[in-house]
Amino acid sequence: MTTLPELDPIDIRSVELRRIALPLVSPFRTSFGTETTRDILLVRVVTDTAEGWGECVAGNEPLYSSEYVEGAQHVLQHHLVPRLWTAGRIGGADVADILEPVRDHRMAKGALEAAVLDAQLRASDISLAAHLGSTRQSVPSGVSVGIAESIDALVATVGGYLDAGYVRIKLKIEPGWDIEPVRVIRTTFGSDVPLQVDANAAFTRDDGPLLARLDEFGLLLIEQPLPEDDVTGHALIAKQVETPICLDESIVSSVAAIDAIERKACSIINIKAGRVGGYIEARHIHDLCAERGVPVWCGGMLETGIGRAMNVALASLANFTLPGDVSASDRFWARDIVTEPIRLEDGWVSIPSGPGSGVTIDSEFLDSVTTSRIELRP
Ligand code: NPQ
Ligand code: MG
């Protein structure tokens, strides 16, 4: 397992589970559904000297994966947080072991680990980026573009993001919205725009010949064409297409990552801390991909400034060699819940340098969007 610098353990006094409702600036449509307002679960860990925040990336409904926000809240309240009370003084690096007896629920575990780690790093005055081993000050920013109402609407949206400076475009695809949108974006904006597609598991093992028709467009990668559990199917598709296959939903752990690589199901991996149970496992997957020569990039889950800042820190590790879905806060939110939203500067975003995630909560605005709060104590 990856070793990170030692930090002093912390004494957790209470854990708050807070839910907020935040409307998206525009609906986000993928092959699995349309999101218009996010119902987001935040975890706050309080010690005598510091507090830390973690963001749970589970969606309103179990459509991207089996996890969903109400289930995450339940498992945190009744199964995960109670396990911390018997553990004594701990740090972020202890959380995964403490929660190991509980199967799966990685997004819930990841949010709790993030909050503990953030509190511990703030108490130690160290940034998450430095703790994880970051080597950069900023990272290039890509943007994920939803399935549009029409081809014209898609062209307008992509044009806006290119004008804003995004250095890489990802088009969401599904059967029937696959070859044509890619062709039109290529014809309109040229072959120099770094471009990739994400199917969110919407195709089948029979779609190899269809997906091979994307080869002529020089895409960086095709992300998750088949269902999460079909590693062999992805290996079959990878043999039929020239474009590199990248896995997202399938990579739920370091074991799954090694499995997919060894079975030649993918040659690139999208790393999302929430999907794999936390930033420490995410760094571990980054390391083992680097050892195997597999490039990685940082995915996104429509996070607020809390998760977004932590993603940017993760994305600054050396083997994140492709631009991530680490877009500016204003890609999704009219107003963020932190006082320093992630901003685009010439298509790049800065790595927060303050302790922990580096962000400050805008408490007044956060309270105004809060829909429920519970405080848990030993
Ligand atoms: C992906 N994200 O890479 C995901 C999919 C996704 C930025 O494309 C609520 C919860 C809404 C999780 C929308 C991007 C979501 C979500 C999209 C995940 O596959
Ligand atoms: Mg994806």
Listing DSSP states for 162-207 in one string gives: HHHT-SEEEEE-BTTBSHHHHHHHHHHH-TTS-EEEE-TT---GGG
> Which ligand 1 atom is at minimum distance from the Cα of 172?
8
In short, whether 324's Cβ falls inside 6 Å of ligand 1 is: no
**Ligand 1 pocket check for 327: Cβ under 6 Å:** no
Residue 224 CA: which ligand 1 atom is closest? 19
> What is the spatial distance between Cα 127 and Cα 4, in angstroms, rounded to a whole number?
13
Question: Has residue 3 got a pLDDT over 90?
Answer: no
Alpha-carbon span 55 to 73, nearest angstrom: 12
Q: Name the residue with the closest Cα to ligand 1, atom 6.
A: 301
Q: Which residues pair with 18 in a beta bridge?
A: 42, 373
Whole-angstrom Cα distance, residue 103 to residue 194? 38
Q: Give the integer Cα–Cα distance in Å for 280 and 110.
A: 9
> What residues does the ion ligand 2 have nearby, CB within 5 Å?
198, 223, 248
- Tokens (6 digits) for 286: 């980054």
272 in catalytic set: yes
Q: Is the distance from the beta carbon of residue 98 to the nearest atom of ligand 1 less than 6 Å?
A: no
Q: How far apart are CA 194 and CA 178, in angstroms?
A: 17
Q: What pLDDT shows up at residue 1?
A: 59
Q: Is the pLDDT of residue 167 over 90?
A: yes
Mutate to test the pocket of ligand 1, among 41, 174, 302 (most ligand atoms within 8 A of CB): 302
Q: Which residues of 216-236 are buried (b: 16+ CB within 10 A; e: fewer)?
A: ebebbbbbbbbbbebbebbee
Nearest CA to ligand 1 atom 4: 301
Point out the ligand 1 atom lying closest to the alpha carbon of residue 58: 10
Q: What is the dihedral of CA 162, 267, 304, 332, to 10 degrees?
A: 30
Q: Which ranges of the chain does DSSP label H, i.e. alpha helix?
A: 69-75, 81-85, 92-99, 106-124, 128-132, 151-164, 179-189, 208-212, 231-240, 254-262, 273-276, 279-291, 305-315, 363-369
Q: Choose which residue among 30, 157, 252, 333 to substitute to test ligand 1 binding: the one with the highest number of ligand atoms within 8 A of its C-beta.
A: 30
Give the distance (Å) from ligand 1 centre to CA of residue 49. Answer: 35
Distance 125 CA to ligand 1 centre (A): 32
Q: Global pTM? A: 0.97
Q: What is the pLDDT of residues 331-363, one digit of tens each?
A: 999 999 999 999 999 999 999 999 999 999 999
Each as own residue / partner, the long-range contacts of residues 263-268 (CB below 8 Å, 24 or more positions apart, any chain) are: 263/231, 263/232, 263/235, 264/235, 264/238, 265/231, 265/232, 265/234, 265/235, 265/238, 266/234, 266/238, 266/294, 267/238, 267/294, 268/221, 268/244, 268/294, 268/295, 268/296, 268/297, 268/322
How far, in Å, CA of 4 to CA of 217, rounded?
41
Are 73 and 20 a contacting pair, CB within 8 Å? no
pLDDT band at 169 (very low <50, low <70, confident <90, very high): very high
Rounded average pLDDT over 359-374: 98
In the chain, the amino acid numbered 272 is: K
- The overall average pLDDT reported for the chain is 98
Number of the ligand 1 atom closest to the C-alpha atom of 30: 17
109 is catalytic: no
Token code pair at residue 12: 């957790």
Q: Is the pLDDT of residue 229 over 70?
A: yes
Tokens coding 377: 């104590």
Joined tokens for residue 179: 């070859």
Q: Token pair of 149, please?
A: 């109402």
Average pLDDT estimate for 292-318:
98
Q: What is the distance in A from the centroid of ligand 2 to the CA of 372?
A: 29
The pLDDT of residue 198: 98
